[in-house]
Each structure stands twice: as structure tokens, then as C-alpha cells.
Structure 1
Amino acid sequence: MGSSAIDTVRILELLPAPVFTMDELGYLGSWNRSAEQLYGYTANEAIGQHVLFLYATGTEDGQFVGMEEFFQIDGHAVFRVLHRNKSGATFPAELTLAILRHGDRDGVQFVATVTVLPLLQTAESDLLKLHASIIANSDQGILITDGNERIVSVNAAFSRITGYTQQEAVGQSTDILRSGVHDANFREQVRKALLGSGPWQGEIIGKRKNGELFPQSVSISVVRGESGTITHAFSIFSDISVLRASEQRMQQLVNYDSLTGLPNRTLLAQLLGQALATARRNNACCVVLALELSRFSSIKETLGNDVADELLRQVGQRWRTALRDEDVLARVGDTEFIVALLSIQKREHSGIVSQKLLNVLDPPFVIDGNPIHISARIGIAVYPDDGQDTASLLHCADVAVKRLQAEAISSYLFYSPEMNQRAKEQWQLEAELRQALSSGGLMLYYQPKVSLRSGRIVGAEALLRWRHPQHGMISPAKFIPVAEQTGLILDLGNWVLDEACRQIRDWMDRGAHMPPVAINLSARQFDRQLPAKIQSVLDHHGVPTDRLKLEITESLLMRDPDTVIPIMNELVAMGLALAMDDFGTGYSSLSNLKRFPITTLKIDRSFVVGVPNDINDCAIARAIVTMALQLRQEIVAEGIETAEQMVFLRNLGCDQLQGFFFSPAVDAIRFEEMVRNGERLQVHAYS
């Protein structure tokens, strides 16, 4: 600094008025004691700062006039401004600017003399305060930069969002906020905005003082002086990280299964739709696999919901690891998954993938110390052979897996048109069966049980019949499997229970002394609520428990004895008699047979049809009867159609017969006539 410059600084220091100097860009070069007293900033704190750090507002009245504009006003000007001291208090002031030259033009400085004005409660000053308050209290970050993109002013929200205080930010380049993560055209677009092409708005990734990156919504605009020249730029921005996190959570809820974290049906449809569009353009192949877990409901009933949920999660994890990254695995139902093979060379390869998915289920899952074995069935549909769109492929894969379900096979199966036709027939049958259930198209027939000692009718089995309005009587062998697959069997079972009790009550009201009626219980009916449901129906119709018997299949009893036996005990405690139906077709053990509170064993017809000529059937029938006698249980042989069968089983020690040899199942009116007329089988006529 030359001697003239030093003299000038000394002179300014002695002036009683607040005075400071600044260069043509607005950065302070000197600061006298009066300025220190007025603003509260020491010379060390003020020198080097931009003059706008003294301003309480970013309005055009508070902007620094650049050198080009100042020369146009002949080197001297007076401005009214609103300044702010170190403590934050604002005050109106008159700023007198003059040019102080030192040699050439590059050494030009401005000298500013500050005169504090009285606080006039004018509309202009109120508006100025309002502007300052809005900026200071805005929840959006605001920063003002000069022509060199250096920060000259920030608000409190800026500091809260970025972590930089006003003192740390002012004078710094805006590069301190840049993350380097942005669109390739971002810098060019912002540059155009700074050159006056118009405001820029968008979303970018910013960087806080601690290095954390965050998404922000930004608006960048410029400020022009009276001559139209751009003097400053300002940015208004918001931290939208919370909004983006909420959007991501919403996307997770909408597109992903909450239990397994796998894509759900919605996202699957999007991904598969996009893949099919690509396959059409490239004449490529796509495959959809429908995966259905077997025995899951029994696992859930036995081990509980928590174990079942964890099993589903682990199954999803195993299947995911068995697939390629580009393959899609989605969960679309309770036990239903879909795999989309979006890039596959030949349809036959999908069979290899299917077998791989089946194989990874072979090792048991160990959950809460319980080893759990589970298997699956897989239906396969191929684009473009089986379907041209997402809905068609999913439908065809589902048809294939339902075919495996009907055959109780844990394997994989490719779709075929014939399979689809059978499925359509089943769906039609299901719809018509539901209609029959609601419109009175169902009825109960009663097949007599006859004593092999007296020949008299001693009971009956209630059998469900369906009279179709167009096709006549539909065989139970045709509609019962459909009801089992669709879950309609539960409604049918409830209807049979109610109708049987209604008929028993009707016979009682008319004084008909009818024998007990037995009804069959399905596996779906056999749960903890069953005793209460039966008691409710009995009470509703006023039927004594000794008028109703329950027949339970052997396979149901063997599936989970520890769960079934307490329910059976509760039914027996109510006064109900239990029979084991289809005995010999399951895998009963003697230890379990002793535990079951049953009074009757019914020999399955498959072991009756061959006697007395088939040696094996005769041996099985003899073993069953011998065991039942030892257990002191009543023995009923069903499916007897000939006198020879009747004689053989009577001689073995069977108590009752049931079959066409005496009577087929008949309607309620005919069965009542048979009982009233004392119709009987002349068992002693056959010897």
C-alpha cells in the first residue's frame, strides 16, 4: 500500500462518522472506529466481507451498485438503505458513496459514509421490515450471490438446512454446496439462468456441511440493476429428503409384499408387461411360472401364524437365490408366487428352472427349533404359445398348477388347451354349485345302515345330492372335488349339518321314530370352533345329540392327531358318537387308534368289492374286523352289493352293512316310509 493510501486510511479512521471503503465488487477494504461502534463488528470481522452482509433485506434498494453504474452517476451518489448490526437490530441509514482513486483504474475504491436516519413509521419502512422478516423467517433456504457466484447473504433456514452459519457461508463460492451428483445438463441450465435466460427450477442433490447428501427443490433467479445489468443471483431451496423418503415408503407399500419384500401383483404386472413388449419387438420368448405351496394351511394351523410367516419369508429367499438377477419373483397370494423368466432361449429351459425351484425346498426349514418340510407345485405358461399378454399367461399358468393340485402332485406341468377347457368346465361347475347352494338346488339323500343280526334299519348316512336344472342329478364324485379345491366345501358342510338337523326335527315333530343320522365332516370343518358350531345348530333345531352321528375320514385323523384328538374329545363330551370313515385307506397306527374316542369303524368299499373271491381283500377285511373287535368298536361294511359279500362280512363279525344290496341312498320321504314299514333284510335267509 502506497503512502497516499495509508494517509487516506488514517484520515478515515479519525472521521467521527461511520466510514468504510470497498472495492468495485463490494468487498470491504477498511473500517473505521465509528463504523465499529455503529455495527458492532470489529475491523478484523468486517474487512474482507461483502458489503451486503450489513443489509437487512435483499430488495433492490439494498443492492450494491457496481462500478459501471456508479461511473454513470458521475462518481457520487446517495442511497437509503436498511442495515443490520451484529446483534441483528435493523435501522434505516443513508449511504453516501464516493470514488477514491489510486493510480490506474484497477485501483479504484469506493468510500461509503453512513448516516443513521430516524426510525420513521412510514409505509415504505414497514414494507421494508416486512420483506426482511419474510426472508429471515422463511422455512426455505435463501442465498444471494454476486456476479462471481460468491455468497453475499443467507437466511436462517439456509443455515438450518446446510449446517453453514452466515459467517461461514458469506464470501464462499457456491461450490461448497455442490455434491457433484446431478444431471449432465444441470450446469449449463443454471448458467443460462444466471445469464438472464429466465428462472431455473428443478431438483438436485445438495451437500451439507457434514458431507451428507440430500435432495432439494431449487429455484434460481437473477437481480438486475436500474440499467438492466445482472448484479446478483438468488436461490430459494427446500430440503425434500422427508418427502422423497415418504414417496419411497409409499412405492414400497404399493409395489412390494410387506411380508417377504418381494414384488407384488401390481409391480409384477408392470415388469411383465414391459418384458412382453420387448419380446414382441425382438421375437423373443418369455415364461411365467405359477408356484403354489403344498400343506401350508396345516403348518399354519399347527405351528401358528408367526412360524408360517417366517416360513414364507425363507421360502421366498431360497427361491430368489435360485434365480438369475433378471428373473422376477413375486408373491401374489397367501401361498402363491409367480416367477417371470423374462429372457429365456427355449421353453424347455423353464422345466429345468422349475425343477431347480422344487429341489431347493428339499432341505427342511428349521424355525423355532421345528424342522418343517414343504413342497410346491408349478404351472408353466409360455409367451407367445400360450398367451399374448400378462393376464392370459397368468391365467394359463394358474390352470396348469390347479391341475397338479387336483392330482396332489408336487411337480411342474406345462399348460395345454385341453387343460384350459377342463378348468373352464370346473369354474362353470363351481359357479353353478354356488347358485344351487343359495337357491335350494341341493338336497340330502339317506342310505340305510342295516343290522347284520336283526336285518332292521338301525341308522342312515346323509349324502349330499345336487339336482341340476339342465343336467339332472350331478354325481358327488364330480362336484365334491371342485368344492374341496375352491373352499366351497366349508359352506356345503355347514349346509349339510343344518339340513340334517332340520330333517331330524321334522321327523320328531311328526312322531316318526327314526334311527340316528350320520353326516360326514370335511377337513376344512374340523377346527377348534367345530364343537360350538354343531352345538349351536343342535340347539337351534332342538335336536338331541344322540340323534346325530359324525363320520370322520381316516386321513383327516392321521394328519395331525395331537390337534384333532382334543376336538374329538370335546365332541364326545357333548354326547355325539364318532365313526372313522374309509378305514384302511390311511395310515393309522394302533397307538393312535387307541387314543381316538371313536365308537365305529367303517370298512372302505375298496376292500369290500373283492370279497369273498380276492384273497388280499379278504385278508385285509379279516384283519380290520379282528382289530375292531379287540378294540370293542362297532363295525360297518359299506359298498355291499352282493349276498356273497354280505355273508362273508357277517361271518367275520361285522355289525352293520351299507350298500346297494339293501338299498341305495333315497330321499327323506322314502327313507321315512322304509322305517315306518319296518322294511328289513332277511339276513338269515342267506347262509
Structure 2
Amino acid sequence: MRDTAIMHCLALCRAARAQQGAALAQTLDQLEAGLAALGSQPEAEEAALALDLAGYVTSWSDGAEQMFGYSAAEAVGQHVLFLYTDDDEGSIAELVVEADNATAEVRRRKKSGEAIWVRLSITLVEEGGKAGDGTDNDTGNDAGGAAGMHVRLTRMKEGLSAAEKTSLHARIIEETDQGVLVTDADERIVSINSAFTRITGYTMAEAIGKTPDLLRSGMHGAGFRSQARAAMAGGAPWRGEIMGRRKNGDLFPQSVIVSAVRDEHGRISHTFSLFTDISVHKDAEARMQRMANYDALTGLPNQGLLMQLLGQAMTEARRTHEPGALLVVEITRLGSISDTLGHDVGNALLVEAGRLLRSRLREGDILARLDGNKFAIALPRVERREQAALVARKLVEVLAAPIGVGRRSLQVGTHVGIAVYPEDAQEPGALLRGADVAAMRAGTSMEPALLFFSEEMNQHAKEHLRIESELRDALANGELLLYYQPKVSLRSGRIVGAEALLRWRHPVRGLVSPGVFIPVAEETGLIMELGDWAIEEACRQIRQWHDAGLEMPPVAVNLSARQFDTGLPQRMAAVLERHDVSPEQVMLEITESLLVRGADTVIGIMNDLVAMGLALALDDFGTGYSSLAYLKKFPISTLKIDRAFVIGLPHEENDCAIARAIVTMAQQMRQEIVAEGVETEDQMTFLRDLGCDQLQGYLFSQPVPAVDFQRMLGEGRRLALPHPHAERARTGAPVAQCS
């Protein structure tokens, strides 16, 4: 069998030599000589033994004694199982023979305990001792036993033979997905594998005899050829990435190893190259780079890449002493457009806005998209600050005209913040913060549409961050409290309700005005936590007053628009149940800005709240943009006249007209009217004569702590109301008329 395998390998070598051509003749001749020498080696160990039908040894050869270590006297008469290894759980191979001359590779145990691999050949023996030949002539004879031939398989212990290694290595090279290229001393290609053809497109006939230059793209690095030649001359293998060219002309990136091959005398006979097409890896790397550095929607650089490019520009500016600028462009109305027409329209609008901005910039200017509705523009070189303002005005103008998105024409607003380097900042992060702060400040009013960053803005931004941080601590440390401002009936003068107002007692600065921290809370989202805390605390206080035997009028709690979502009714029910408070004891105050957001959804939430027994009041009425057509659909029980319209009563004609219109409308809609900010008796008298139901203001009381409000209720404190006709008697003018 060994001879057959060797002859087969030799035949393969001759076929390969004919296929590869004369260039490999010498190498293949050497391989053939090695295989022939292998065929002339002595035969391997062989052991012969015979068994009876029960499996007992009846004959034991000298070869068996040498292979297994047992003498004939020790072996004959024993069952063949004494040669089996402990882990062999199969059947007795020598007795289970499906056909004559069966062979198998099995493990057997020597006398020393060593386990060896052998090839077992089994021949059936007739009763007369004659071996069967497997022909029909033998079918009439009964088998009298079996003769076994064991051949020691040393490769199982010692590894592959040289021929087997050669064959295996050839198959591995042929089946690998790496291209293999072998050249001779003249740098002529003498061998390639299938992967070479698959990657490059060149067949064996087209490549053999050529030089590797047929793959050159002309785009190698400057040191490639010298480094590769050093490896071919016997130096360390060269590894790197280069650009190759396929047969069809396409370029492709490849990872390459170049090394030399030495013969048995140590002389360099050939060189080889292993290469892999890494186009897929490069494409994936490019996609990852794009995902990391570019905005997925607009394709513009993102903030991370902007910081890198801006840093390079600022470094260059320091060298050349040329100033630059960074603009942050904030696009307004994008949220309402997305809510109304869908996010697809909003996204398309952002893409078109980016295209329009790019059209107004120089080639060297950098346009990037920040988060949400903000873009950033880096102007690496500006001659003076005014030049940045001129660019900003161009950007505002291009976005001022209606923007076409599909068949729609959409209008947006724009605010621009500008920071200049090195004047405003020395590093990219600070410059971006400055421009962003300026954009936010520009967005607080309609004009101007653009603002330059200033140190005063910087201080304001730092104060904003300080307030946010300390406000979070205030929530955790119990520094918040509620004050209560009474609502007084203009018919009886009695306290008929109160508004719970949030206060912050700072451990260092004392009471902080709500006008300072409420805007910060709204902007940062902390208003949700503040609002939930206020509702919880108001209900807790109502329960405490009730337990103290105090007959408590309804307490109004302000709601932020952020709190007004579909989960609000459920949250309110949980708070009322937690403190065992009746819904009639709580009123929720909302502002007009809430009413313009998806009226149908808002009405549904309002109806759920009213169905629970809660009352709703519309705060600061007249200062927003609520539609009267929608207003009549809202289940609102109370309208509050904003203090802005009360302060001019009864002397300002416009304030008088607005107050009269609000009261008349509320009466027609059977809603209760509360006037805020009442500070004088003249204001009170005018509002009372108009038919206003309640007042709230310093005329009666400023907001007070819970304990003071409790005392006012306990004392039955009342507002002194003038006689209904006292004003007419004093002035001679009709009641509820402006002077």
C-alpha cells in the first residue's frame, strides 16, 4: 500500500511538472528523488497471528512477538482481547468480518502498556487451515478461524511522512483564499495558485514567465520596491499594504508578504509573495470612518470631525497670525414642521437647508451639522470680525426665502452665533461653546438674527450651568418649598382658593427668584422633576391641613407643557390616592402655549383630568396665541387675566378694553374669572364692577409660607370691599369705565 501511495505521488509530481513548465523542473525533480528514496526504505513492522472461531490465539509469529512484546508461549491460548486497549468499547474486529480480506485501522496495546496504531488485515481460514479466496468455490466450506496481519502505523505516532506533507501542503496552497506567487532568480513567475487567478483575473498561462510587474498599479509607496527587494535578497520578510491592478484594469488594495526561499545549501532559489484582496475590509473601514465622522442624514461632517478640522485650522492660524471664525446656525420652526408634516419632511428640510448653506460658502470653509437643528460653519480665514458677520447675513438671507421640499414650500427662521479666534477662544471646544451661547442668545428675540459672542454671554452661560447644577442639588437636599398666594372672592372678600408657587431657599443666597431658575429648569428638562415635586408637595400639604381640621379651599398648581402628556391623568390619580386627597381640592393651571400643540391630543388629556374631578384654569390669558375657535372646546373652568393687562387699570384705555373683553367672553362661556397682580383698590373696584369673580395680588397678600396661609384661613381674614357704588359717588363717572 505504501508503494502504491508513493507511486501516486510521483505521478502527481510528473503531472505537475508538465503543467507548470520547465521553470519548476529542477524543484520537482528534487521532490521526485525524495519520494523515490522514501519508497526504498525498509518495510514497516508486521505481525501475523491466527485465531479460532471463539477468538483465542492459536498461532503467534516472531513479528507479533517483536511488535507486541509477548512471546508465543504467553500469547497462544489467550483471548485476542488481551491486545485491546481499555477504552476500546467496540466489537471484536477479528471475529466480526463482513467480507474476506477486510482491513481496518485500530489501536492495540503492547505488553508494556503502550497503545499503538496498526492496520489490521483479516483473512478467513477454512477448517482445514486453508485460507479462503473469497470466490464462489469457497461457499461450501465452513470457516475454521481467522488469520490476522497487523502492520504498525508509525505515522499515527510520529506524524506525516515527507510525501504526505508535500501533498498536504500543496493542497493547502491550492485551496487557500490568499493569492500565492512564486518567482525564480530572474523574477519570472514560475507558480501561482487558484486564488491568484480569482483575485487578479490572470490565468496560469497568462502569468507564468511574466514578472510581477503585471500587477503594478503605479501607486506603491516610495519605499516599497527597495523594501521588497531587500526581502527577496534574503532580508526579513516584508509585510505591508499596496495597491494592485487586476487584469481588467481595476485597482484593488492588497495585504502582501514578500519573502525568499532557500535550498538545502542555504542559497536563495525562489521568492514568494502571499497577498490578500482587502477591498471588503477597506470598504468596511471606510464605512466605519464615515459613520464616525459624518452625519448620517446630511452627509456633512459631524461635531467630532469639525473639532479635528477646526483644531488644524486654529493651529495654522497661530502660525500665520490670521484670524478665523466659527458660526453656529440654529434653524427654528423645524420642530413644529416635523410634528405637523412628519419627520420625513423635517429631515428633507434639514438636508435642503444644508445644501443652501453650502452654496453660500467658499470652498475652504467647513460646514458641519451639529445635533438637532444646528449647523456649524468654520471660516478658517477672515480679515476682520465684520467679514464673519457678512457671511452670517448671507446665510440668514438664503434661508429666509421659502424652502422647497417636494411640492411644499416651507418657511423657517434662523439665528446665528459668531465666535472669533484667537480673540474669543484658543481651542476648538471653547470656540464652539462661545458660538453656541451666542446663537442661543440671538434666539431669545426676533432681532437681531445674529450675535457675536461676548464675555458677558460667557458669564451668563456659566451662571446658567451653575444654576442647573445647584438646582439638581436642591431637589436632592430638600431646598425647595411651596408658598401659597390666596385667591379672594370679589363678592364676599373671603379666601376661596390659593395658588401654590415654587420657591427655592438656597443655603447661601437665600430665596432665589423663580424668574431665575424656572427658565433654566424649562430648558434643561428639570421642570419635569420640579413639577412632579410641586404636585406631590401640594397634595401632602392639603392632606396635612385636612388632618389638622382646616376647611381647605382648592389649591391651584402650575403645570409645565412638558408635564402635559398622556400619562398625566394616571400620575395625578396616583398622587391623589397616595395622599388621600379629593380631586375637587386641586386645580391645575396651564398656559396658552400648551393649547397650540396638537389640540386634539390636548383636549383628550384635559377631558380625562376633568372626568377625575380636577378643575382646569388657563393662566396668563391674553399673552399667548390660543385660537378662540379651539378655546371653546377646552373643558376649562377658570380664566386668569394676566397681570400685564391689570397693571394699567383703570387708566389705560387699551388695558380696560382687553380686560372688559376677557370678562365678557368668560361670562358667555360660563367660566370663572380671576385677575392676577391686583395691587390697588382702584384696580379691584374696576374689576369687581366688570364682573370679575376673584382677585389675586399684593392688595390682599403676597405669596406666604404654608404656616402663614394656614393662620390666615384660621383667622378668617377677609378683603375689605368698597360699596358697589362708592366709586360712582366719588368720581361721578359710570362704574367700570376708564378715566
With over 3 angstroms needed to count, the CA separation of the structure-2 counterparts of 1:567 and 1:438, relative to structure 1, is same
2:528 corresponds to 1:516: no
With over 3 angstroms needed to count, the CA separation of the structure-2 counterparts of 1:344 and 1:483, relative to structure 1, is same
Distance 1:238 1:262 in 2: 33
With over 3 angstroms needed to count, the CA separation of the structure-2 counterparts of 1:675 and 1:629, relative to structure 1, is same
Among 589, 600, 624, which residue is 1:551 paired with? 589
2:322 corresponds to 1:284: yes
- C-alpha contact (below 8 Å) 1:151/1:171 kept by paired residues: yes
Match of 1:232 in 2: 270
- Structure 2 residues not aligned, in runs of 5+: 1-9, 44-154, 727-739
Match of 1:496 in 2: 534
- Structure 2 matches for 1:389-428, cutoff 5 A? 389-407=427-445, 411-428=449-466
Distance 1:657 1:38 in 2: 110
2:13 corresponds to 1:63: no
Match of 2:305 in 1: 267
- C-alpha contact (below 8 Å) 2:443/2:449 kept by paired residues: no
Among 190, 196, 202, which residue is 1:158 paired with? 196
Which shifted more, 602-611 or 220-229? 220-229
SS of the aligned residue for 2:167 comes to: helix
2:657 corresponds to 1:619: yes
For 1:51, the aligned partner's letter is A
- Structure 2 matches for 1:210-609, cutoff 5 A? 210-224=248-262, 230-365=268-403, 372-407=410-445, 411-558=449-596, 560-609=598-647
Match of 1:81 in 2: 31
Match of 2:701 in 1: 663
With over 3 angstroms needed to count, the CA separation of the structure-2 counterparts of 1:532 and 1:356, relative to structure 1, is farther
- C-alpha contact (below 8 Å) 2:531/2:563 kept by paired residues: yes
With over 3 angstroms needed to count, the CA separation of the structure-2 counterparts of 1:433 and 1:351, relative to structure 1, is same
Among 13, 16, 22, which residue is 1:51 paired with? 22
Distance 1:447 1:170 in 2: 98
SS of the aligned residue for 2:434 comes to: helix
Question: What are the superposed Cα offsets for residues 119-147 of structure 1, whole Å, 9 maximum, x if unpaired?
Answer: 99994333433433342333321111234
With over 3 angstroms needed to count, the CA separation of the structure-2 counterparts of 1:311 and 1:494, relative to structure 1, is farther
With over 3 angstroms needed to count, the CA separation of the structure-2 counterparts of 1:162 and 1:630, relative to structure 1, is same
1:452 CA drift (Å): 0.9
For 2:289, the aligned partner's letter is Q
Distance 2:12 2:710 in 1: 117
1:275 CA drift (Å): 1.1
1:365 CA drift (Å): 4.6
1:640 CA drift (Å): 0.7
TM-score (norm 2): 0.75
Distance 2:354 2:547 in 1: 58
Match of 2:688 in 1: 650
Distance 1:92 1:249 in 2: 52
1:407 CA drift (Å): 4.3
Distance 1:314 1:545 in 2: 50
SS of the aligned residue for 1:512 comes to: coil
Distance 1:368 1:410 in 2: 31
- C-alpha contact (below 8 Å) 1:302/1:563 kept by paired residues: no
With over 3 angstroms needed to count, the CA separation of the structure-2 counterparts of 1:130 and 1:410, relative to structure 1, is farther
For 2:21, the aligned partner's letter is H
- C-alpha contact (below 8 Å) 1:143/1:154 kept by paired residues: yes
Distance 1:166 1:538 in 2: 86
Distance 1:313 1:529 in 2: 34
1:308 CA drift (Å): 3.9
Question: What are the superposed Cα offsets for residues 134-185 of structure 1, whole Å, 9 maximum, x if unpaired?
Answer: 4233332111123443321112222232233333432334333223332345
1:368 CA drift (Å): 7.3
Which shifted more, 495-504 or 218-227? 218-227
Distance 1:572 1:467 in 2: 34
- C-alpha contact (below 8 Å) 1:639/1:658 kept by paired residues: yes
1:448 CA drift (Å): 0.9
SS of the aligned residue for 1:460 comes to: strand
SS of the aligned residue for 1:581 comes to: strand
- C-alpha contact (below 8 Å) 1:640/1:657 kept by paired residues: yes
1:473 CA drift (Å): 1.5
SS of the aligned residue for 2:497 comes to: strand
For 1:257, the aligned partner's letter is D
| Bigger radius of gyration among the two | 2
- Percentage identity across paired residues of the two chains: 55
- C-alpha contact (below 8 Å) 2:13/2:32 kept by paired residues: no
SS of the aligned residue for 1:289 comes to: strand
With over 3 angstroms needed to count, the CA separation of the structure-2 counterparts of 1:489 and 1:53, relative to structure 1, is same
Distance 1:366 1:247 in 2: 36
For 2:179, the aligned partner's letter is G
Question: What are the superposed Cα offsets for residues 210-255 of structure 1, whole Å, 9 maximum, x if unpaired?
Answer: 4332110112233456777654332111111122122212212222
Question: What are the superposed Cα offsets for residues 607-653 of structure 1, whole Å, 9 maximum, x if unpaired?
Answer: 11111112221122112212222222211111111111111111111
Distance 1:287 1:340 in 2: 6
1:117 CA drift (Å): 8.9
SS of the aligned residue for 2:252 comes to: strand
For 2:670, the aligned partner's letter is R
- Structure 2 matches for 1:183-194, cutoff 5 A? 183-191=221-229, 193-194=231-232
Which shifted more, 582-591 or 656-665? 582-591
Distance 1:644 1:38 in 2: 119
With over 3 angstroms needed to count, the CA separation of the structure-2 counterparts of 1:299 and 1:521, relative to structure 1, is farther
- C-alpha contact (below 8 Å) 2:352/2:405 kept by paired residues: no
Which shifted more, 388-397 or 165-174? 165-174
1:605 CA drift (Å): 0.8
- C-alpha contact (below 8 Å) 2:685/2:722 kept by paired residues: no
- C-alpha contact (below 8 Å) 2:616/2:638 kept by paired residues: yes
Question: What are the superposed Cα offsets for residues 28-72 of structure 1, whole Å, 9 maximum, x if unpaired?
Answer: xxxxxxx9999569xxx969x632466xxxxxxx538xxxxxxxx
Distance 1:556 1:182 in 2: 65
- C-alpha contact (below 8 Å) 2:325/2:382 kept by paired residues: yes
1:371 CA drift (Å): 5.0
- C-alpha contact (below 8 Å) 1:80/1:93 kept by paired residues: no
TM-score (norm 1): 0.80
With over 3 angstroms needed to count, the CA separation of the structure-2 counterparts of 1:141 and 1:464, relative to structure 1, is same
